[in-house]
Structure 1
Amino acid sequence: MISSHIRKSTLLGLAISLAIPAMTANAAPVLGPNGMAFYDSLPVAGATKGDLLQYRQATVQLGQDTPDVQAWNVMYRSTDSLDAANVVTGTVIVPTTAWNGGGERPTLGYAVGTHGLAQGCAPSLQLANGTDYEADNIRAALEAGYAVLVSDNPGYTNGDVPTYLAGKAQGQAMLDIFRAASQIPGAGISSSAKAAIWGYSQGGQTAAWAGELKGEYAPGLNLVGIAAGGTPGDFPTVANYLEKSVGASFLVQAIVGLGEQYPDDLPVDELANSQGKALIAEAKTECVFESLFTVMNESIATYTVNNRTLPELLAIPSVSETVNAQNLGSKKIPVPLYQYHGQADEIIPIGQHADLKRQYCGKFTKVAFDVFPSEHIVTQFQAAPHVLSWIGDRVAGERAPNSCLTLKPEPQSTANPGGGNFVVTLDEWKLDAAILLNKLDQTVTLPATSTLTADADITAQSLEGMLEVPEFVQRLNILLPLDVKLSVKSAEPTTGSISLDGDGQLHIDGNAYTSIEVKSAGFGFLQIPFGCKTAESVAFPIVFDGPVSKLGNGGLSFSGETSFPELEGCGLFTGLFTTLMSGPGQVYDFNVEPPAPFRW
């Protein structure tokens, strides 16, 4: 019979307490070796949770405009979901500039989202290589002055497999890295400094678990706030959402990770058929953006003995117990909580996160919940300035907002239906656009209410959309200063190719096609109608190569030069307008970003 992990947890805890009846302070941490030897697990006998075992200087690559920092890799003692001692690696990054907020520099535990099961996917290794897709968020936290602590999560040491989504282990590893960081010689991190935790998706799970565990597991941590976004709080609901959907790879990784943490209760080798075992072996070699497309929209029954379906697997008592043990909401979080979610999230359903908010509110946790209009990836990065603003207020001692008593209706999902292509919908994204007219040497600025609506089909690698630009008046010097009423419309759909590679780099190559019309010109209300327009469509190349984080962090920017065709229909002034407003060398700058969130 498959054993109960709760019973095992109790027995392991008792064994540990008998083996080490009186924990003593760990020996001083040692300088760790270079290369991958750093990831060899060290013995933890005599060490207590949060003890730093070894450290070394590290280099992190976070992109352009990164502030000057010092960084260290760390290995520290923590505790897994079964209350057994384990070792966890991570990265500690500290700005070299002085903290200007008064008092000790605050620390921010950054809980990463899904990175993948291969060891090379570990955040500490990706930060060193400059390939971590969350670098923008980490850099923003450093720019705000925080010491940033990034746990790899358990299982990235040599020879191990990550216990992916084992919530208790992740939460405890996050809490322990604060104490470990304070033991790095010369890092200047105080164990009494104000602390906050920020995470999204898997990281949102980690952050919320850390909040629920904090009172018993790390009572001395000076925690002032937790931000947890895109959080999987109800695991059966999330599992059924991922089944046969674009996020099916996360379900596979969850089975592998929980099987590693609870091998007796979720015996993966017994449940998987030969095809499933091959899939698991492949999953252990991939990072998140590689694995994303491996089993998209497939059923877990394809990979199980006797083709057991997901409901049949969840009906196995020990499997059900293991899965439900990852659920959140059973305890009050003792500090203010900022929850956020994408209304169009196609990976983690917003409804179960709304339910989690109600559970926390019912336990008198002070909660603010923001709803972003976009899907999973976009929301992760669009939320960053809102998260850092909220955390900054908590560090400053400002009173925390509370939306527990909101009378607003629960946000309903606007996600694209599951089971199809992976489509990121840009629904009325704000378009900031300026065009420098070559011969006039003047800039035309499109109205602030201009938008782009498009479907970016990552599976089909196609992009199609339309610009919506209201008619507007622009002051232009055409022989003399005139108020020119202009119309910029989509002459045909904006089209192109879009792809996402295994390193999380987004590639866009397309064109926005517009018709430009001079409706009238004159002085104020005195306007002479013209109705002349470009004889052919104007093609604005939209080319982008950069991290997927740019979808939400500042939006997508496109710039370059294009050529305007001759104008026609201007009557006696056709030649004048054509001379002054057509031809090559028209310089444009476009930026599109998602709409603002709302508080629920």
Structure 2
Amino acid sequence: MAAQRAQPNAHPGTAEASRPEDQQTSGRRERTVGRALRRLSILALATAAAGLGHAAPATADAVYPIPDGDGFYSAPPDIENFQPGDVMRSRQVPAAGFPGATAWQLLYRSTNSTDAPIGAVTTLLLPPGGGMNRPVVSYQPAVNSLGLQCAPSHTIFNGTMREAPALNVMLARGWAIAVPDHLGPTSAYGAARLGGRLTLDGIRAVKRFGPADLGASPVGMAGYSGGGMATGFAAALAPEYAPELPIVGVAQGGVPMNIGKLALDVGLRRSPMFGLGFAAAMGLEREYPDELHMDRILNPEGFALRDQITNACTDEIIRAGANKDFSDVFYGAMEADETVIRIAHENSIEIYPGVPRAPIYEWHGANDVVSPQLVRDVLGRYCSQGARVQFDLIPDADHGSAIAPGSVNAFNYLSDRFAGIAPPSNC
């Protein structure tokens, strides 16, 4: 869906700067970047490089996805009368792909990044025999997408969720599984703190949902990559945001601990994953529409890429943005301001000061492009403040190949926590 927009104002020399032969302009750009690097944290630089640090024209608007045609997803007009985690609407749905399970979808009240009430959906799978206070795991899939049709509540039953086999493994253990749409009602990919809130409120919802009989259930959380980021943020937020939840264990893997630094890794040079960084900038703009704007510095190729992926799922986003960098889609030099820095910090686990109370199993590939060192740093901070952490660095594994071995360990870890076994720690 094409967005209405004003054409950006070209900066003098901008068109020339993209030409390899214009060494003088390129040199000016490099000196500008150098000054920015000295002046700002790497986090602030990366976020600004995604186009979020520039003043927006008065007519600028975030570009939102096509609304979901299913009225079940629409929040009721009296949403403010509900508390976070209250179930506002529910329905039983066919449990396609999950033999013997019972499936429900719950529309619950949550809170967005500016503290406004929003409606969100979680999908609840109950193994044969119902709930009966059995363990419940909130599983956050990797949803690196901008279209609402990519949300787990859709993909879990139409055969496109790649992590669906993991859900059957957990159901076979007798666990109830909650799968939240953790990008929220606008598919705000990149808004990691929102993902943490939606995860915690989704757990509240399934525990308050009478037909599931999970009110006294112990809770675990799990997720990998983008799902691990929502899981990790939920764990860090829980002591303050949802202290009443009985979270006995958290299993998270491949977690991007700092979205700004990751954006820098995939944006300053050509990368096959550039589209995901660009999509994350779009998602943050959706979540903070009054503060962040991309229109001001998008060049024609940037506008075209934005229009192309506004309603796209992961694979299409990756294909559309493959082997691009910041200079391909943005005008102007890298700049930053206090608002950008604040919002980037709010959505990076590395910066967020909260420390999980629940014990954590964290796994990561030793050769992962998502920095293992940042994971070590964050876990070190958790350990220094009393958290129980088991960190497993998978030898010779990259981001993809670390999934399988770590997942086996993750499910065993959660099983031990549900059994009341004392959590291990290699802090």
> Does TM, normalized by the shorter one, top 0.5?
yes
Mapped pair 1:41 → 2:70: no
Q: CA deviation at 1:154?
A: 4.0
The SS at the match of 1:383 is: helix
1:166 aligned residue:
191
Q: Structure 1: any 5+ residue segments left out of the alignment? A: 1-33, 405-600
Conservation of the 8 A alpha-carbon contact between 2:183 and 2:191: no
Counterpart-to-counterpart distance in 1, 2:259 and 2:119: 26
From 173, 180, 191, give the equivalent of 1:144. Answer: 173
Aligned sequence identity (%): 29
> How many residues are paired up?
354
Mapped pair 1:356 → 2:340: no
Conservation of the 8 A alpha-carbon contact between 1:73 and 1:89: yes
Task: Provide closer, same or farther for how the CA distance between residues 270 and 352 of structure 1 changes in structure 2, counting only shifts above 3 A.
Answer: same
Deviations 1:239-291 (A, max 9, x none): 11222222212201110111111123321222322321221121122111222
From 323, 341, 347, give the equivalent of 2:344. Answer: 323
Q: Which structure shows the bigger proportion of residues in helix conformation?
A: 2
1:534 aligned residue:
none
The SS at the match of 1:225 is: strand
Conservation of the 8 A alpha-carbon contact between 2:308 and 2:320: no
1:538 aligned residue:
none
Deviations 1:1-48 (A, max 9, x none): xxxxxxxxxxxxxxxxxxxxxxxxxxxxxxxxx972222232312100
1:39-438 aligned at under 5 Å gives the runs: 39-43=73-77, 44-62=79-97, 66-97=98-129, 104-156=133-185, 161-190=186-215, 192-243=216-267, 244-306=270-332, 308=333, 312-313=334-335, 315-329=336-350, 330-346=353-369, 348-372=370-394, 373-404=396-427
Conservation of the 8 A alpha-carbon contact between 2:127 and 2:171: yes
Task: Provide closer, same or farther for how the CA distance between residues 300 and 269 of structure 1 changes in structure 2, counting only shifts above 3 A.
Answer: same
Deviations 1:172-229 (A, max 9, x none): 1111112211343422222x21001101111111111111111121111111011121
Task: Provide closer, same or farther for how the CA distance between residues 292 and 117 of structure 1 changes in structure 2, counting only shifts above 3 A.
Answer: same
Aligned residue identity for 2:209 = I
Conservation of the 8 A alpha-carbon contact between 1:88 and 1:154: no
After superposition, the CA RMSD in angstroms is 1.9
Aligned residue identity for 2:115 = D
The SS at the match of 2:368 is: coil
Aligned residue identity for 1:184 = F
> Which structure 1 residue ranges, 4+ long, deviate > 3 Å from structure 2?
none
Q: Larger relative CO (CA 8 A, sep 6+): 1 or 2?
A: 2
Q: CA deviation at 1:336?
A: 0.4
Counterpart-to-counterpart distance in 2, 1:367 and 1:182: 26
Counterpart-to-counterpart distance in 1, 2:153 and 2:143: 14
Task: Provide closer, same or farther for how the CA distance between residues 58 and 152 of structure 1 changes in structure 2, counting only shifts above 3 A.
Answer: same
Larger Rg: 1
2:22 aligned residue:
none
Counterpart-to-counterpart distance in 1, 2:157 and 2:144: 14
Conservation of the 8 A alpha-carbon contact between 2:199 and 2:230: yes
The SS at the match of 2:401 is: helix
Deviations 1:547-590 (A, max 9, x none): xxxxxxxxxxxxxxxxxxxxxxxxxxxxxxxxxxxxxxxxxxxx
The SS at the match of 1:117 is: coil
The SS at the match of 1:186 is: helix
Conservation of the 8 A alpha-carbon contact between 1:105 and 1:189: yes
1:440-455 aligned at under 5 Å gives the runs: none
Task: Provide closer, same or farther for how the CA distance between residues 271 and 146 of structure 1 changes in structure 2, counting only shifts above 3 A.
Answer: farther
The SS at the match of 1:268 is: coil
